[in-house]
Structure formats: structure tokens, C-alpha cells
Structure 1
Amino acid sequence: MAGYKAPSFEDRAASARDAKQRALEKLRAKPAPDPELAAARAATRQAREAADAERRSAHRAAVEQEKADREQARARARADAEAAAELAAAARRPLPPPVLPTAEEMKAARDARYAARKSRQRG
């Protein structure tokens, strides 16, 4: 050391070199395999895979339900279209000709009205 207050450049460079070497050795050191950690990781992986499988099956069920709902909607639309076509066809059919009274029936109705009026006037 150069002095008690300020280390020399060489001292600082050596100190930095030593610190760098210690950090590299610490980084390169491999820890011993921990069986508890490996078991915990395996359990976590299995739980994640189970959750993923459940999520996929729920998604498939939702897709199938949506498909069934669309098919039901199509069936209802087809039934409604058939009913509308049937009503339109019924509206296009010609009406039966009106039943007109014969001349004798008209005379009888007129005579009945005349007689009713006369009976009210006498009455």
C-alpha cells in the first residue's frame, strides 16, 4: 500500500481482479442436486400439466356447446322459414268465390224486412 489513506493503482487493480475471480468461481460452482427441489419441481410440473389438460377439455366442451347451440339456431331458423313460406303460399292461394244469394232469396229477405217494418208501425 502506498499510504494509509489512499491505496495505489496497483492495489486497487489487484483488489478488483481478486473480486472478479471470486465472482467467476462462485458462478461456475454447481450446487449439489437437491432431491426435495427436484420432487417439488416435478410436482409443480404435474400440477401445471393437469391444469392445462383441464383447461383444454373445458375449452373443447365450450366449443362443442357453441356448435350445438349454432345447430339449434339453424334448425329454428329453418322451421321459421318453412312456416313463413307456408303462410306466404297460403296468402297467394285464391279465395273461394263469395256465395251470392239468388234472386228468390233476396226477394224473400226484402219481403221479411218490409213485413217487420209494417208490424213495428202498427204496433
Structure 2
Amino acid sequence: MKNARNNQLSDRRAASADAKTSLLNAYRAAKTGAEPARMARQAERTAIVSAREERRVERERLKHGERVRVETQAAEQRAAAEAEALAETEAREGAEKARIARVIEDEAARKAERDRRYANRKARQA
């Protein structure tokens, strides 16, 4: 059954104000009572955040180290490949020069043999 009393407006306003005051007092009491727990939760969150940040920094450091190692290894491989290509080019050039020198020597020997035959033929004719 509803409130059977016939309340006047002033009674209802006073009851509403009292209810609001009691709710506010209950909120303040709960807030001050929960303050140590809130501080503990806040400290725990701060610790979690700092640990997370330390782990992130460590991951970044490891990634950077790995990236530097990979770049160094790639640079070494490029240098080795370039050195190998240079050595191969030099060997090819050396072989080409040796072949040219042999051809020139053979040509000179052929000319010397031809000149000797020519000189012998002239000597026989004279």
C-alpha cells in the first residue's frame, strides 16, 4: 500500500533533502573508508605500468640489437660478395692478359721463324 499519509509539499521537500544528505554522507564515508584500498590499487597500477614500460624498453633494446646485428651481417656479406666479384674480375683480366701475351709471343716467334727462313733463302741465293 502506498504511503497513506497526505504529505504536504514542504514535507516532501524536507524528506528529499534528508535523503540526498544521507546519500552524500554515505558516499563520503565510503570514499574515506575506501581510501587506503584505492591508494593500494593506484600503487599497484603504477607498478604494473612501470614494469610494462621496462619490458617495452627491453624489447626495443633487443629489437635494436638484432636489427644492428642483421645489418652488420648483411654488410659483411655484401663486402664478401664484392671482394669475391673483384677477385673473379681480376683473375679473368689476368687470364686475358696472359692469353694476349702468349698470342703476342707466338706471333713474334712465327715472325722470327719467317725472317730466319727468308734470311737463309737470301743467303743461298747469294
TM-score range relative to shorter protein: 0.5 to 0.7
Paired residues in the alignment total 92
Gaps of 5+ in 2: 107-126
- Greater length-normalized contact order (CA 8 Å, ≥ 6 residues apart): 1
Partner of 2:82: 85
So what's the TM-score if we normalise by structure 2? 0.56
1:26 CA drift (Å): 2.2
CA 1:39 to 1:25, structure 2 compared with 1: closer, same or farther past 3 Å? closer
Partner of 1:28: 24
Q: 2:72 aligns with which of 67, 72, 75?
A: 75
Deviations along 1:87-122, one digit per CA (max 9) or x if unpaired, are: 22123220422579x8xxxxxxxxxxxxxxxxxxxx
So what's the TM-score if we normalise by structure 1? 0.57
Q: Structure 2 CA distance, aligned partners of 1:68 and 1:56?
A: 18
Q: CA RMSD in A?
A: 3.1
Deviations along 1:19-51, one digit per CA (max 9) or x if unpaired, are: 4323322243232733xx333223222222221
What amino acid maps onto 1:80 in structure 2?
Answer: Q
Runs of 4+ in structure 1 displaced over 4 angstroms? 11-16
Gaps of 5+ in 1: 1-6, 103-123
Deviations along 1:61-108, one digit per CA (max 9) or x if unpaired, are: 0010011011101101110110111122123220422579x8xxxxxx
